[in-house]
Amino acid sequence: MRKLIEFDDDTFAKLKQLARDRMGTLQELADEAFADLLKKHGIPIDLRDALKKSAAGAGPPAKQAGAAGKAGKRK
């Protein structure tokens, strides 16, 4: 997906220079900045982060006492 973002000339020049200094691209800088912003606000970046957040909020799974206890007492 392609979207346009407008920068003033001075900001754009500084971003281009930063990308050159890091031997990267402006797109890589934007990806990093938006990922940091989403993380700051607790929004998962990808499926892996969403699953981690979901698992952390759910807590440990509850044990089922009925079925497991009966199966082990066979004679």
pLDDT in tens, 31-42: 999 999 999 998
Provide the 10 A C-beta neighbour count for residue 8.
7
Q: Would you say residue 44 has pLDDT above 80?
A: yes
What 3-state class would DSSP assign to 11? helix
Find where tokens 């934007």 sit: 30
Kindly state whether residue 70 falls inside one of the protein's structural domains: no
Find where tokens 């200094």 sit: 21
Contact between 15 and 26 under an 8 Å Cβ cutoff? The reply is: yes
Handedness of CA 34, 40, 43, 49 (dihedral sign): positive
Question: Which tokens belong to 30?
Answer: 């934007």
Domain hosting residue 44, numbered range: 25-56
Kindly state whether residue 14 falls inside one of the protein's structural domains: no
Lowest mean pLDDT among 16-20, 22-26, 53-57: 53-57
pLDDT of 64 reads 63
Kindly state whether residue 38 falls inside one of the protein's structural domains: yes
